[in-house]
Structure 1
Amino acid sequence: MRILSALLASSALMSAVPVAAQSGAIVPSQTPDEASDKDASDQAGEQSVINDRTAPEGTLDVIVVTAQKRSQNLQDVPVAVTAISADALVNRNVATVSDLPRLAPSLTVTQGNVPTNNSINLRGIGTIAFSTAIEPSVAVIVDDVALLQQAQAFSGLSDVARIEVLRGPQGTLFGKNASAGALNIVSEGPTRYLTGAVTGTVTTDEQYRIDGVVSGPIGDSVGFRLNGFYGDRAGYIDNVYDGRRLNNDKSYGVRGRLAIEPSPIVEIDLTGTYSVSESDGTARTYRTVPAGSAIYGSPLSNTLVGITPGEDNFDTAFDGPLFNKSKSALVSGRVTVDLGSVDLVSITSYQDWRFRFIEDFDYIVGTVIGLPNGIVAESSYMASQFAQELRLASNGGGPVNYVAGLFYANGETDRTFDRGPSGPAVAQWNSSNGTKSYAAFGQVSFDLAQSTHVDVGLRANHEKIDVTYINNVAPAVPPANNARCNSLCVGEASDSVVTGKIALRQDLSDGVMAYASYSTGYKGQGYDISTGFTPARAADPVKPETSDAYELGLKSRFLDNRVQLNVAAFWTDFSNFQAQSGVQLPDGTIQLQLNNVGSVRTRGIEVELEARPIEALRIDGGISYTDAKILKFPNAQCYTGQTEAEGCLPVAGSPTGLQDLAGERLSNAPEWKFNLGAKYDIYMPSMPFDAFVQADVNYQSDVSYSLLANPLLVQDAYALVNASIGIDQNERGGMRIALFVSNLFDKSYASALGTPAGGSAGLVAQTLPRDARRYAGIRARFSF
């Protein structure tokens, strides 16, 4: 009853407040006729999805993307791109980057206990590393600014115009940390007419969120946009020991944007963003607990009182802390000068990210290795980066078009780590790593014939990296610990590389284009900054990871522009793949650290469909088949409990053996994945509003969450169904109310599986995402 009352009260409250659409469409303050098509295009520019309002009613919109750093029709770009609009994000209840796999084929997200352990994966390739100095395989770009740490992307989404999911190496235009692909997030820009919106969301699992935006002109040559949000969601994991509800989320943020035209040929876009997110951690629960299981020798029997382990176990128990908090700030300035046939673009940015977590390391109740309160780990991060990009982009429609530029970035990440207070798990250290990048890039497109086109691109990149590591734990048992940094370790290195791409495009008919491309990817070298850092690691960073990618694609629209079908077939080989693996130390023990383990291959096919068979019905979906396998991975650490009969080769003097993983599948890389959604508009001419119904289904085949091929860490195939129904005023501005349900059939699944540190063989813990069980809600938006 309390939830129902809150739903009704929220709806009643918002009905008294004017609100505006977040889709970025121009909402005039006078009459609709006064907003011309040119106004819409000018207002959107490179920063939004442009709808072709001249197209006949009931056909598909033309989507303009910046996947190649120039405004282009999605169907003319020889890249596998999923463009997700603002409306799709709202209609599908996408609130964070973790929700995006429901809308994009070949995209998965691996969820760790803290955001710094999360990984965005494309076509089976991602990076899971404890080190702050190791770059991701998938770059995240927000309004033309690449984020320094991928964890920054998990702070929530608000007032987004579109998200482009670019699959395959994108390093030629987007830099060295896009060897597997990129997420290009574009926020809404100012409008030429005064608009505003307030959106409120309330759910049955006790989420309360409000988003607001106001946008319009300030005089004749200045436009502004200001948006903010506040959200508070209760936890859905119960700590039966002390009654805490974990995995909650409390966040808020604000973004301000100014568009200034000081002269007819100069445009200035200034953006500032600040957001805060905090929660009582990402708690894991136990899925499998064999008899006699223990953590660091302490039995789990007392911890599991009142808990039934299993796939749908949302209960846990531990007596320590669990908390994390992040603060993110980003300011950028974009200046565009129209030089006639070419635009000169300058993008200057500065980003600052702070993150802190504290957690119960052993995750049990009671004494652990003689410590009454067990082991506690805490860490803090401070990351900042200044970047400058200068580029020339042609804006003509002739046979030759190009983009060329220079790039510089200077970033630094500091981290402190403390795990103790004593015992075998103790670790206390500080670190600082820096990276400076210098690059020159260019891509040219030219017509070999009227229907045949070639795209050629190159990027030359030079990078300098450095590390400072201070070990605050004195060596305990010489000589074993003498191999570690007893106090201070420093290192520096540099590397240069040239990557490139070539694509051949052929127009087969009006609305049908085929392409073939070859590109190379590069993920820079880096230091494995983690507990046990040694002078040897400081002197010899992990080598760069490189890739060679081949792709065939078909992009088509037919049936009078009512059906869009895009297909991509890909084959990518990765060399010097960066991953955690076992390394044998001089004393005979095996230490888990990051290094170049060998090579992997990913290949497959992706199909995306969008259709509007009748004006009232929209259908969209995608399906992917991905064969992501390890080709060479010797000396991988054995998983906990692995026997010699199961492929674990014992190492004398070490409790941990080694295995060869050649032929195994990569982790969190489902072979099959598909999504299908439909929205049907119910027109009611006699009413002041129309109605709609919407449903979507998302499926993925079974995946292993273990790079070490532990057969216990496999999530079975599952499908989720979501649905919504609502009303929408059939005029610009007005009211929209939707009732929605997520995970309609209450299907439980894990977003990560693992074996706890110090745990017995066969013990399995799981991370359950919010939508691993059903919840419903209401979303109301009012706009002017």
Structure 2
Amino acid sequence: MVAPAAHADDAPDDENLMFEKVTVTAQKREQDSQDVGIAITALSGDQLEALGYTNAQDVAAFSPGVVSVQPNGEGSYSFAIRGVANNDLSTNVESPVAVYIDDVYISQMSATGFLLFDIDRAEVLRGPQGTLFGRNATGGLVSFTTVKPGKDFGGYGSVSYGQYNDMMLEAAVNIPINDWISARVSGAQHTSTGYITNREHPEEKLNNNDDYGLRFQLLMEPTDDISILLNARVGGQEIRTGFFEYKSAVNGGGLYTPGELNPFLGNYEDTDDDVWAGDYNTRGHNISDTEGYTATINWDVGNWTLTSITDYQKNFRDYIEDTDATPVRAYEYFQTNDAEQFSQELRAATEIGPIDFVTGLYYMDLSSSDSTGGIAPLMYTDPDNGIFEEDVMTDPTLANGDRTPSESSTKSASIFAQGEYKWKDFSFIGGLRYINEKRDFVSTRQDVHFDENATSGLDPRTSVIYTYSTFDPAEREFDMWAWRAQANYQPNDDVLYYLSYNRGVKSGGFSQPPYDPTSALLTSPENLTYEPEELDAYEVGVKWDAIPGYFRINSSVYYYDYGNYQAYTSFPGSLGSATINAQATNKGAEIEIQAAPIDGLSTQLGIGYADIKVTDVVGFEGMTLTSVNSPEWNVNGLVRYEFPVSSWGNLALQADAQYQSEHYFGLDVTPATTENGYIVGNVSATWLPADADWKFSLSVENVTNEEYLVQTFDLSDWIGMIEEYYGKPRWVRAKLSWEF
């Protein structure tokens, strides 16, 4: 192997934005992202601010092979990395793509929709990270690190305003208390009036914003060897969401039947092509509250650094939607979740000569009380009455909805170690993790009577009419192993080659019982369990600063071989859906190219390719399927040019875009579950005055007003329609930010 020549002396004096050194902790120690043999996309806080990135979707769009959507509005994010995704929105299911903030795992998908503010860096790690992280997500992870308290007084603020009365306020202040204690307070609030028109009540827009986040950090450094960081955070959201575009499919099978009236839903037909408008009889909502407390202690003892991370968090969610997306009150799906999570990580790390070594223990205790179901007077109407008589809403002896309350708990304990040995231009990495996980689950299926004015599954006036299935308390225990073996070759400071083999694991568990009382799943509770997923991931990659500071190429090729692949699917001829085990393979490649050909010009191109095949799926025997939210091609690009206008300051012009090829929202591929592919582009202009601590920007998101699907649910066999959820329309905003 011939190594490219080094060009260290040719690096520019003024570092280009794309080539800013980003320090990451992907291996539980600080390293330049270009020196880590993992496919990483990392952005510093300065880069996030300069590029105008304000949420997790922006970060994902910058990463090849990564897709991020909000399947139910602003309430949460769903990530897919290299085709590894999850479309089971049950509250007791953890995503195969882990989300961390300040080294703390966020288990609840409903808690991942937090506002991004006061961020020091964002990291997207592609591929299983089995040995060093507390939860063994098979797809990879997304990690955010916040700005820590410093010794100097200062801070920043920003305010933005845009279409739909969209306003974002953000601020942070650093407060030194004495020589060894400092504090930092930061917060953000996001409000808007919404962009979905309800023709039934046009005075109130839907899919609005009403979010806030607040964080307090206290850093104590009593000696040069000890640091104690206390972190307290709260956040909340109360928005009108859960609104879908109605598509008629009265003939079933996921086939559109435009222009055909739906007899079950009052002969309803959506007569226009406006994907951001509908006729909704109910005001859905997503109400969530989160709080968390973390204590991080680092202690240097000789050649060792000892670390303790103790965390406690609570998450509450109350969600309800107009499922049928019509003026008829047929079915209003709800989901409530009240979860508590405690975790403790202990690590010891050292560097002795050519060896870097880290070992540790991890424990997590997660408990959750959940309820899913629907307010459904039309479906529970007395057969002696007309189909649209709503006597069930006022007669407390009749059921008018269903509810499935459940209790679940997860206790996970693990021990891990990883070492890296350096020899000449080579380094060799070996890591191992043992996990013991216990999961408990109990659930009951009920017919209930909701008050006629009920707007939530938590309405206290709800009474149980009939209990017709109970999933008896069940406990499962899993013993799992994850490991890593890797070889790196770094002939000079500008290039790194790596070859790795990772075993990733994700524990088994329980599916929520289905809504269909005739489903075989209800009479066969064993069908509601699934086994641990195992992934053998093989990868070869290169990171090459071909011309340091001017031209960089990072590329990787991978092959995934799954055992007991966890797939969420519906069953033909039934309303039941569950997570089941199947087999799958995935082969793909990624390339990131960054270039700065002239002063002030920054360019980025990312291309991801994934070929995923899923087989041995119950109900689809003999068929080869593909994963959800996993386009074969994923391309992103960015061009930013900053240039002096006069002695008054600089102007930065930016354009970026993301392309996703055809992809699917369910294993059962039908027209209803298919997005044909799309391009979404954004543009911005930023004024940076000379010798000033403020800047002003104008931006347009989705500049072409592209109509693109981010989620569909095929209900054609149930109520003769398909739910479609579209991404945001064109959005213009202005932003003023300053430092002090």
Both proteins in one fold, TM over 0.5: yes
AA in 2 matched with 1:428:
R
**Shift of the alpha carbon at 1:759?**
5.2
Q: Deviations over 1:217-267 (max 9, x none)?
A: 211001211111111112111111121311111111100111110122100
Rounded to whole Å, the distance in 1 between the matches of 2:93 and 2:330 is 30
Q: Which residue of 1 aligns with 2:282?
A: 320
User: Of residues 410, 413, 429 in structure 2, which corresponds to 1:438?
Assistant: 413
Rounded to whole Å, the distance in 1 between the matches of 2:152 and 2:301 is 28
Asked whether the equivalents of residues 324 and 723 of structure 2 are also in contact (C-alpha less than 8 Å), the reply is no
Cα pair distance change 1:749/1:131, threshold 3 Å? closer
Rounded to whole Å, the distance in 2 between the matches of 1:540 and 1:418 is 17
* Greater Cα offset, 130-139 or 340-349: 130-139
**Shift of the alpha carbon at 1:705?**
2.3
Cα pair distance change 1:361/1:661, threshold 3 Å? farther
Query: What secondary structure does 2:59 align onto?
Result: helix
Asked whether the equivalents of residues 484 and 534 of structure 1 are also in contact (C-alpha less than 8 Å), the reply is no
* 2:339 is the counterpart of 1:383: yes
* 2:440 is the counterpart of 1:457: no
**Shift of the alpha carbon at 1:186?**
0.9
Correspondences of 1:614-653 after superposition (within 5 Å): 614-630=598-614, 632-636=615-619
Rounded to whole Å, the distance in 2 between the matches of 1:364 and 1:80 is 45
* 2:528 is the counterpart of 1:569: no
Rounded to whole Å, the distance in 2 between the matches of 1:114 and 1:660 is 34
Q: Deviations over 1:565-619 (max 9, x none)?
A: 11011111222122233569xxxx7462324341112211111122333332222
User: Of residues 480, 488, 493 in structure 2, which corresponds to 1:510?
Assistant: 493
Rounded to whole Å, the distance in 2 between the matches of 1:355 and 1:402 is 41
* 2:57 is the counterpart of 1:57: no
Cα pair distance change 1:117/1:262, threshold 3 Å? closer
* 2:303 is the counterpart of 1:344: no
**Shift of the alpha carbon at 1:185?**
1.1
Asked whether the equivalents of residues 666 and 707 of structure 1 are also in contact (C-alpha less than 8 Å), the reply is yes
Rounded to whole Å, the distance in 2 between the matches of 1:116 and 1:418 is 18
Query: What secondary structure does 1:89 align onto?
Result: helix
Asked whether the equivalents of residues 589 and 609 of structure 2 are also in contact (C-alpha less than 8 Å), the reply is yes
Q: Which residue of 2 aligns with 1:127?
A: 86
**Shift of the alpha carbon at 1:445?**
0.4
Rounded to whole Å, the distance in 2 between the matches of 1:522 and 1:416 is 28
Cα pair distance change 1:579/1:110, threshold 3 Å? farther
Q: Which residue of 2 aligns with 1:157?
A: 116
Q: Which residue of 2 aligns with 1:290?
A: 257
Cα pair distance change 1:280/1:300, threshold 3 Å? farther
* 2:589 is the counterpart of 1:605: yes
User: Of residues 594, 617, 620 in structure 1, which corresponds to 2:578?
Assistant: 594
Q: Which residue of 1 aligns with 2:143?
A: 184
Query: What secondary structure does 2:530 align onto?
Result: coil
Rounded to whole Å, the distance in 1 between the matches of 2:59 and 2:22 is 19
* 2:37 is the counterpart of 1:78: yes
Cα pair distance change 1:591/1:753, threshold 3 Å? closer
Rounded to whole Å, the distance in 2 between the matches of 1:151 and 1:757 is 27
**Shift of the alpha carbon at 1:549?**
0.2
Q: Which residue of 1 aligns with 2:627?
A: 666
Query: What secondary structure does 1:262 align onto?
Result: strand
AA in 1 matched with 2:160:
T
Correspondences of 1:227-238 after superposition (within 5 Å): 227-238=186-197
TM-score by length of 1: 0.82
AA in 1 matched with 2:482:
T
Q: Which residue of 1 aligns with 2:461?
A: none
**Shift of the alpha carbon at 1:336?**
0.3
Asked whether the equivalents of residues 22 and 43 of structure 2 are also in contact (C-alpha less than 8 Å), the reply is no
Correspondences of 1:611-760 after superposition (within 5 Å): 611-630=595-614, 632-636=615-619, 659-660=620-621, 662-683=623-644, 686-687=647-648, 689-731=649-691, 734-756=693-715
**Shift of the alpha carbon at 1:135?**
2.1
Give the unaligned 5+ runs of structure 1. 1-53, 367-372, 475-482, 637-658
Correspondences of 1:405-484 after superposition (within 5 Å): 405-422=360-377, 423=379, 426-447=401-422, 449-473=423-447
Q: Deviations over 1:101-139 (max 9, x none)?
A: 321111113443367885311111111224333221101
User: Of residues 221, 234, 238 in structure 1, which corresponds to 2:180?
Assistant: 221
Asked whether the equivalents of residues 701 and 730 of structure 2 are also in contact (C-alpha less than 8 Å), the reply is yes
Query: What secondary structure does 1:173 align onto?
Result: coil
Rounded to whole Å, the distance in 2 between the matches of 1:232 and 1:248 is 7
AA in 2 matched with 1:776:
V
Rounded to whole Å, the distance in 2 between the matches of 1:454 and 1:137 is 27
Q: Deviations over 1:479-511 (max 9, x none)?
A: xxxx99645621111111111001100113331
Q: Deviations over 1:538-564 (max 9, x none)?
A: 797311111110000001113243222
Asked whether the equivalents of residues 280 and 324 of structure 1 are also in contact (C-alpha less than 8 Å), the reply is yes
**Shift of the alpha carbon at 1:354?**
0.4
User: Of residues 307, 311, 319 in structure 2, which corresponds to 1:357?
Assistant: 319
**Shift of the alpha carbon at 1:340?**
2.4
AA in 1 matched with 2:13:
P
Rounded to whole Å, the distance in 1 between the matches of 2:613 and 2:93 is 22
User: Of residues 222, 229, 235 in structure 2, which corresponds to 1:269?
Assistant: 229
Asked whether the equivalents of residues 552 and 569 of structure 1 are also in contact (C-alpha less than 8 Å), the reply is yes
Q: Which residue of 2 aligns with 1:654?
A: none
**Structure 1 outlier segments of 4+, above 4 Å:** 114-118, 291-296, 532-536, 757-761
Cα pair distance change 1:718/1:486, threshold 3 Å? closer
Cα pair distance change 1:461/1:535, threshold 3 Å? farther
Asked whether the equivalents of residues 158 and 738 of structure 2 are also in contact (C-alpha less than 8 Å), the reply is yes
Q: Deviations over 1:299-350 (max 9, x none)?
A: 443x53xx413xx521110212311111111110100001122200000000
**Shift of the alpha carbon at 1:749?**
1.2
Q: Which residue of 1 aligns with 2:168?
A: 209
Bigger proportion of residues as strand = 2
Cα pair distance change 1:116/1:535, threshold 3 Å? farther
Rounded to whole Å, the distance in 1 between the matches of 2:636 and 2:239 is 30
Rounded to whole Å, the distance in 2 between the matches of 1:666 and 1:278 is 32
Query: What secondary structure does 2:447 align onto?
Result: coil
Cα pair distance change 1:246/1:513, threshold 3 Å? same
Q: Which residue of 1 aligns with 2:385?
A: none
Q: Which residue of 1 aligns with 2:737?
A: 781
Rounded to whole Å, the distance in 1 between the matches of 2:527 and 2:704 is 54
User: Of residues 765, 769, 773 in structure 1, which corresponds to 2:723?
Assistant: 765
Rounded to whole Å, the distance in 2 between the matches of 1:590 and 1:697 is 40
* Greater Cα offset, 557-566 or 338-347: 557-566
Give the unaligned 5+ runs of structure 2. 1-10, 249-255, 381-399, 449-465, 516-520
AA in 1 matched with 2:368:
T
Rounded to whole Å, the distance in 1 between the matches of 2:690 and 2:219 is 30
Q: Which residue of 2 aligns with 1:498?
A: 481
**Shift of the alpha carbon at 1:742?**
1.3
Cα pair distance change 1:493/1:634, threshold 3 Å? closer
- Number of corresponding residues: 680
